[in-house]
A and B are shown apart, each in its own frame.
Chain A
């Protein structure tokens, strides 16, 4: 399973890529692999204020619908509409095809997430 260095990871298999005060959020390779063929994605409205643990969107595979949670507080400043048009992009490259861009409200929350190294270990135990 692909795990990129330099990202933050949650136990629910979301990744966070920080750029200054903003962060891209998506699902990991492990998550897309567990889901199988992704056929539908629902994302929040731009402007939505989300708190860590809130549902940021829904990813549906052929078999089932799964919630995606945001691991940090943030205000949605952009959503990736190209994955709504073609959800299979997330299967092809889950790190390139982010879901939302947020303005980070509390950067200290990143300390609660895993580094790539820790996430790899976490996956080994899954």
Chain B
């Protein structure tokens, strides 16, 4: 554990009984109290997450817009100042280098939030594709901490710690220089749980103090500290993808079912030709949602079968704490991908029956 990277909150985990694991080279809590109670706290009240391991990269300069528009799949011309969007950064084969959030200050200044495991790769990819664009790219991940407060009570709790009217921050917008408990933060109405909530960015030195203040303030509302375990079950129920599971350099956004974030009509971008070709030829594989008919828990990597042959594998599977059902996502041969189809999941060498259903297992509670 000593060789792992630590967030500024590491020393606090012990106080909250955090069970530490190695997550992509980071020492992070998989749970505090229990995955299920933390999951339920976020669905019914609120949860606080340390997501300081996530990466932050700034893109500034005269050609910041043009540079990024070429780099990502979503249409940056649609993004307003102080707005945030979700997008993919693809390779030339259409595979996903990373999925990320783009925060727009102006067309000369953007703030990117990327996955922890991909920070170095992304930063290199961006510099490698800088070409002649007049931009300055900076990886500020080591200076920035991030906390996420998520759940139906998130706004009420956070509002107690700031004079800024948080109801004015709309879904997928952000505000800079918001004082939370006296600390200057970037606050966005975004998150990764399917619930309303905020992501808060601040310099490392304030993270522990802010964590404690939010925990203290939220206690009476039922707020709990939440680990990576519930973070995964929550995002999974809400149909949100995880890099390394539903997305990778070998899986395209179209196969993952996220064509919505790929704007073919915006002009050129890296990966466009490959993605367009895939779209025109038709998908050979697709990510589908499924529910177990037989009793058994589907897990990441398990084989999926139909017609006595392997047709794919599970990207994520769980006993869903909210739905109380065994459900999963799987990347399978597109010809079996229709909803209502029966497939088989091989669990400990036994093929068990499952049914293809919508990937939106849980109806999201965003405040729009």
Chain A contact residues, CB within 8 Å of chain B: 36-37, 39-40, 42, 58, 60-65
Contacts and interface: CB of A to CB of B under 8 A. Distances in A.
B348 A40 contact: no
22 contacts: A36-B31, A36-B34, A36-B35, A37-B34, A37-B35, A37-B36, A39-B319, A40-B296, A40-B297, A40-B319, A40-B326, A42-B348, A58-B348, A62-B36, A62-B229, A62-B321, A63-B30, A63-B35, A63-B229, A64-B299, A65-B297, A65-B299
Contact of A39 (B19, B30, B31, B297): B297
Interface of B: 19, 30-31, 34-36, 229, 233, 295-297, 299, 318-319, 321, 326, 348
A36 B233 CA distance: 14
B299 A62 contact: no
A62 B233 contact: yes
A42 B326 CA distance: 15
A interface: dominant SS: strand
A36 B319 contact: no
B26 to A, nearest CB: 17
A37 B34 CA distance: 7
B interface: dominant SS: mixed
Contacts of B348: 42, 58, 65
Contacts of A36: 19, 31, 34-35, 229
Contacts of A40: 295-297, 319, 326
Given A36-B31, A37-B35, A37-B36, A62 B296 contact: no
A63 B316 CA distance: 11
A119 B299 CA distance: 32
Nearest to A34: B19
B17 to A, nearest CB: 11
B247 to A, nearest CB: 20
Given A37-B34, A62-B233, 14 more contacts: A36-B35, A36-B229, A37-B35, A39-B297, A39-B319, A40-B326, A58-B348, A60-B319, A62-B318, A62-B319, A62-B321, A63-B35, A63-B229, A64-B299
* A-B interface, 10 closest residue pairs, ranked by CB to CB distance from nearest: A39-B319, A62-B35, A37-B36, A40-B297, A60-B297, A37-B34, A37-B35, A63-B229, A36-B35, A36-B34
A42 B229 CA distance: 22
A40 B36 CA distance: 14
Q: Which of A40, A58, A62 lies at the interface centre, i.e. has the most chain B CB atoms within 10 A of its CB?
A: A62
A76 B31 CA distance: 35
Nearest to B299: A65
B185 to A, nearest CB: 31
B35 to A, nearest CB: 4
B24 to A, nearest CB: 16
Contacts of A37: 34-36
A64 B326 CA distance: 13
